[in-house]
A and B are shown apart, each in its own frame.
Chain A
Amino acid sequence: MVAVVDAIEPALLPSRIQMAFTLASHVLLVPLGVALPSLTLLMEGIGLARKDPVALKIARRWSVVMAVQFAVGAVTGTILSFEFGILWPRMMGRFGSAFGLGFAIEGWAFFLEAIFIGIYLYGWNRLRPRTHFLVGLVLPPAGLLGAFGVLASNAWMNTPGGVTVVDGKVTDVDVVAVLFTRALGYEFWHFVIAIYLTAGFVVASVYAVAWLRGRRDHYQRLAFAVPFTVAALLTPVQLLVGDLAARAMVDDQPAKFAAMEITWQTRDHNPEVVGGLMDDSGNVHLGLSVPALDSILVGLSPDAVVRGLSTFAADARPSTVEANITHLAFDAMVGLGSVGAALSVWYLWILLRRRRLPDSRWFYRLAALAGAGAYLTVEVGWITTEVGRQPWIVYGTMRVSEAVTTAPASFVWSMLAALVVIYALIAYFFVTLLLRLSARWRRDDAREATAPEVGVPYGPRPGRFDTDA
Chain B
Amino acid sequence: MPEGIAFVLLLAITAYSTAGGVDFGAGIWDLLAGNSERGREARALIDHSMAPVWEVNNVWLVLAIVVAWTGFPLLFQTVFSALYPLYALALLGLILRGAFFAFRHVADEPRAHRIADVVFGLSSLLTPFFFAASLGAIASGRLTPLSPMSVAFGLVSLAATAFSGASFLVGDARRYGAADLVAYFQRRAVAAALALIAVGSAALVVIGVEAPGLLKSMLAGKGLPFALATMVLTPLAAFLIWRGVFRWYRVLTVAAVGSMVFAWAFAQSPYLVPGQLTIDQAIAPKGTQVLLIVVAAVVVLVIGPAMGLLYYLDQRSALESPES
Contact = CB atoms under 8 A, between A and B. Distances in A.
Interface of A: 68, 70-72, 74-75, 77-79, 81-82, 84-86, 89-90, 92-98, 100-101, 103-108, 110-112, 114-119, 122-123, 125-126, 170-175, 178, 405-407, 411, 415, 418, 422, 425-426, 429-430, 432-433, 436, 451, 454-469
B65 interface: yes
10 contacts: A85-B79, A97-B284, A100-B73, A118-B53, A119-B313, A171-B285, A173-B288, A463-B317, A464-B324, A465-B44
A103 B58 contact: no
Given A85-B65, A101-B291, A96 B84 contact: no
B76 A98 contact: no
Nearest to B317: A463
B69 interface: yes
Nearest to A104: B295
A96 B70 contact: yes
A173 B284 contact: yes
Chain A's interface: helix, strand, loop or mixed, by majority?
helix
B52 interface: yes
Contacts of B51: 457-459, 461
B299 A111 contact: yes
Interface of B: 40-41, 44-45, 47-48, 51-53, 55-56, 58-59, 61-63, 65-67, 69-71, 73-74, 76-81, 84-85, 87-88, 91-92, 94-96, 98-99, 101-103, 105-106, 176, 178, 284-288, 290-292, 295, 298-299, 302-303, 306-307, 309-310, 313, 317-324
B69 A84 contact: yes
A93 B77 contact: yes
A92 B68 CA distance: 10
Given A104-B67, A126-B322, A98 B56 contact: no
Contacts of A101: 70, 288, 291
Contacts of B176: 464-465
Contacts of A415: 88
Nearest to A93: B77
Contacts of A100: 66, 69-70, 73, 288
Nearest to B92: A418
A93 B73 contact: yes
B73 A92 contact: yes
A170 B48 CA distance: 48
Given A96-B77, A119-B313, 18 more contacts: A70-B55, A71-B102, A78-B94, A89-B81, A95-B73, A101-B291, A104-B67, A107-B63, A112-B302, A114-B58, A115-B307, A118-B55, A123-B319, A174-B287, A175-B288, A429-B106, A461-B47, A463-B324
Contacts of A432: 106
Contacts of B287: 172-175, 178
B41 to A, nearest CB: 5
Given A118-B53, A426-B99, A467 B44 contact: yes
Nearest to A433: B106
A79 B78 contact: no
Given A96-B73, A465-B178, A119 B319 contact: yes
B2 to A, nearest CB: 12
A433 B285 contact: no
Nearest to A468: B44
A377 B5 CA distance: 41
Contacts of A406: 81
A449 B101 CA distance: 26
B70 A456 contact: no
Nearest to A116: B306
B69 to A, nearest CB: 4
Contacts of A116: 306
Nearest to A432: B106
B87 A86 contact: yes
Given A107-B62, A171-B285, A92 B76 contact: yes
A433 B92 contact: no
Contacts of B76: 85, 89, 92-93, 96
A436 B87 CA distance: 35
Contacts of B71: 97
Contacts of B85: 411
A79 B288 CA distance: 24
A90 B76 CA distance: 9
A117 B55 CA distance: 10
A118 B80 contact: no
Contacts of A459: 51
A238 to B, nearest CB: 30
Contact of A98 (B96, B105, B288, B306): B288
B103 A433 contact: yes
Of A82, A90, A171, A469, chain B has the most CB atoms within 10 Å of the CB of: A82
| Residue in A418, A433, A467 with the greatest tally of chain B CB atoms within 10 Å | A467
Contacts of A115: 56, 303, 306-307, 309-310
A178 B88 CA distance: 30
Nearest to B61: A78
Given A114-B59, A172-B287, A103 B299 contact: no
A370 B323 CA distance: 39
Which 6 interchain pairs have the tightest Cβ spacing? Answer: A93-B77, A96-B73, A100-B70, A97-B284, A85-B80, A122-B319
Contacts of B322: 125-126, 463
A95 B73 CA distance: 7
